[in-house]
Amino acid sequence: MKLVFAGTPDFAVPSLLAADARHEVVAVYTQPDRPAGRGRALTASPVKQMALERGLTVHQPERLKGAEVLDTLRALEPDLMIVVAYGLLLPQAVLDIPRFGCWNVHASLLPRWRGAAPIQRAIQAGDAETGVCLMQMEKGLDTGPVLMRQSTLITPEDTGGSLHDRLAALGAQVLADGLGLLRAGIHPERKVQPEAGVTYAHKLDKAEARLDWSQAAGMLADTVRAFNPWPVAEAEVAGERLRIHAATALPLAHAQTPGTVLFAGRNGIDIACGEGALRLLRVQRAGGRTIDVADFLNARSDLRGAGV
């Protein structure tokens, strides 16, 4: 089959490789190069880098609109367009071009967590499981019928980064299975999403990363995991702003003001929360690298053994 692939970040790369393994990818669409890094140099997306490495044709329109963009896509005569974390909404005119329409690999068990940040929102909400869906795209945001799905448990050790990588691989497998069926002349069954259970995974904002000690420790621990590796949770600890890379909730009863250091030792720094306590395990000082709490306390000797 002749495929057009549209994707941008690391999450989409395994799906691109799956599509290119047994089918003809006639073009890859990805976001324009953006400034990145300390030097803010224009940098190609991970999908573009992989596409060029594999000798695939790359298109980078600012929008999927306009006669020229649509004519270019029509000239490719695609059987199917695959969209994975592309970053642009597809207008109806684009959805209508491929013979079999457009498929999307989405990192949640739809209709839960439609939208931009389903991986992080699932962890932040304390969900026990998540997964990937292969969806037939329509004009609405992640509203199309589901063709195939695969679930995975969210473990207490999962972070936004580890779950991202697992779902990226799972999404590529589901896509490969769907493409295999279509290549054999079998159209995956379209299952309309139920109206019950719809939630939206709004885009992550750095402002959300600041921890509110008045919240329950379990909620804060989930936020720390969800926001690792980006945007990384941060909080005021003993008068110093720290980024929190790893923490765990303790079912500890106390009568202290939220934000109070209950104890500081090599095993962690326990902070009073609205309910329970949050034990900080790995932190980052301003301008520094990520370190274990034991190393942090070497620099903050005033805190060693501190507590109420």
Which residues are documented as binding site for (6S)-5,6,7,8-tetrahydrofolate?
Answer: 108-111
Three-class DSSP category at 190: coil
> What letter represents residue 273's amino acid?
C
What does 191-217 look like in DSSP terms, one character per residue? BPPPSTT--EEPPP-GGGGB--TTSBH
- Cα–Cα nearest to 235, from 224, 251, 248, 226: 224
Cβ neighbourhood burial of 195 (10 Å; 0-12, 13-18, 19+): exposed
Helices (H), the chain: 13-22, 46-53, 67-75, 92-95, 118-124, 160-183, 217-226, 293-299
As annotated, the binding site includes 108-111
Asked if the bond preceding 231 is cis, omega within 30° of 0, the reply is yes
How far apart CA 57 and CA 25 sit, in angstroms, is 9
* Nearest alpha-carbon partner for 11 in 60, 81, 84: 84
Name the phi and psi angles at 215, rounded to 5: -80, 165
- Strand pairing category for 290-292 and 277-284: antiparallel
- Is 290:284 a contact under the CB 8 Å cutoff? yes
**Other C-beta atoms lying within 10 Å of the C-beta of residue 102:** 22
- SS3 state of residue 166: helix
The amino acid sitting at 168 is A
